[in-house]
Structure 1
Amino acid sequence: MFFMEFFEAIRDFVESGGQVLLAIGILIFVMWLLILERVFYVFIWHKNYKKETIAKWKAREDKSSWNAEQIRQAMISRVSLKLNSSIPVIQALVALCPLLGLMGTVTGMIEVFDVMAISGSGNARSMAAGVSKATIPTMAGMVGALSGVFASTWLNRTSKAERTHIEDALPLDH
């Protein structure tokens, strides 16, 4: 019963915002799947990978030659690449959210102008649906972008801090 009402409310919301709202919803869903995957990686799998990398470095006998320095840089780069793997995609999706919202605004306003052209007047009641289709996608795009900005900023900071930490944990013997 509750789920049926929930899905009907979502369907009504999507219908009031037009097809662009559905695209924004899918975009935000994919963006948050990627964000959650990165968060799980940072809190669960990254710790194990970092421990393995530090253990490999500590097991090395040579830690002072040019080769050792290159191996250290490669290890740090691998850790950093794993941390940053989908952050650029997340940032691109964050940037697309307001653009799709703007597209929804334009399509909604086109609908308003179509109603005005057909009816020949500025009938407020007939224009209300088009105005709704113009404002709802804009709001959804901005909400998606704001939530994604906060998450991607946190992921970037965490990635930089972890890179610094792994650099400190792999000391060179001079």
Structure 2
Amino acid sequence: MPMPWLDPLARLIDAGGPVLVVIAFVAMLLFSVGLERWWFFRFHYRPARQALVGQWVARGDRTSWSAMTLREVWVRDLIQGLRGPLPWLRLLVVICPLLGLLGTVTGMITVFDSLSLAGTNQARAMADGVARATLPTLTGMAVSVVGLLFITRLEHIIRREDQKLHDRLARAAEDAHA
């Protein structure tokens, strides 16, 4: 049974070649990790942050060197949970343009191969082939730019949460002394 809603996807894959499928897979992986980070922040990090503040307030000693060191270790461990997938996200972002270039090179090889068989006087066929060969580069760059925007936003959230957590713990210690 034919599925007409898949026709545009099939035409896109036909136009971009098999590398476009790989770029689509990397994009899905990138956006899946992004969705997982949102889920982690919303449903794991926030309760863990509240628990850490409660644990800090419940401590009797909050001013000694060992208490401050323990606080830093707790904060670092919690923030590290947010930073965990950043290297993988950066890797996926870097891979996308390279895959796009691979698609362009393989597409150009196909164009030149078909031109050598058909003859060199077909400028229209060459222009069409070059346009099809550059589609993976465009796709790889677009996915990479969106991934960079996501990574930048995630790094901003991590810096903000790190500062917020330090401020909240300091305020909790002051409130407990008062």
TM-score (normalizing by structure 2): 0.89
Q: Give the drift of 1:146.
A: 1.2
- Sequence identity, in percent? 34
Give matches, 1:136-147, under 5 Å. 136-147=135-146
Given that 1:16 and 1:129 are in contact with CA atoms closer than 8 Å, whether structure 2 keeps it comes out as no
Residue number in structure 2 paired with 1:100:
99
Match of 1:165 in 2: 164
Alignment check: 8 A CA contact 1:104 1:133 kept: no
User: 4+ residue runs of structure 1 moved beyond 6 angstroms?
Assistant: none
Q: Cα offset for 1:125?
A: 4.5
User: What's the RMSD between the two structures over aligned residues?
Assistant: 2.0
- The match for 2:109 is 110
Q: CA deviation at 1:33?
A: 0.1
Separation in 1 of the partners of 2:29 and 2:135? 20
Shift of 1:142: 1.2
Q: Report the counterpart of residue 45 of structure 1 in structure 2.
A: 44
Q: Which residue of 2 aligns with 1:17?
A: 16
In 1, the alpha carbon distance for the partners of 2:34 and 2:53 equals: 26
Query: Amino acid of the residue matched to residue 57 of structure 1?
Result: W
- Rounded to whole Å, the distance in 1 between the matches of 2:147 and 2:90 is 8
Give the equivalent residue in structure 2 for 1:76.
Answer: 75
Secondary structure, aligned partner of 2:3: helix
- SS of the aligned residue for 2:91 comes to helix
Q: How far, CA to CA, are the matches of 1:134 and 1:115 in structure 2? A: 13
CA distance in 1, matches of 2:85, 2:148: 14
Q: Does 1:154 align with 2:153?
A: yes
3-state SS of the aligned residue for 2:37? helix
Conservation of the 8 A alpha-carbon contact between 1:115 and 1:126? no
Contact preservation (8 Å) 1:54, 1:169: yes
Q: Match for residue 87 of structure 2?
A: 88
- What is the count of residue pairs matched by the alignment? 173
Q: Corresponding residue for 1:61?
A: 60
Unaligned stretches of 5+ residues in structure 2: none
- Equivalent residue letter for 1:58: V
TM-score with structure 1 setting the length: 0.91
SS at match of 2:117: helix
| Cα-to-partner distance string for 1:11-35 (whole Å, 9 max, x where unaligned) | 2211211110010000000000001
C-alpha distance after superposition, 1:24-48 (max 9, x if no partner) = 0000000000011112222332211
The CA deviation string for residues 102-136 of structure 1, in whole angstroms up to 9 with x for no partner, is: 11111111111111221231413443553243111
Alpha carbons 1:16, 1:132 under 8 Å: kept: no
Query: Following the alignment from structure 1 to structure 2, what is the Cα–Cα distance between the partners of residues 13 and 45?
Result: 39
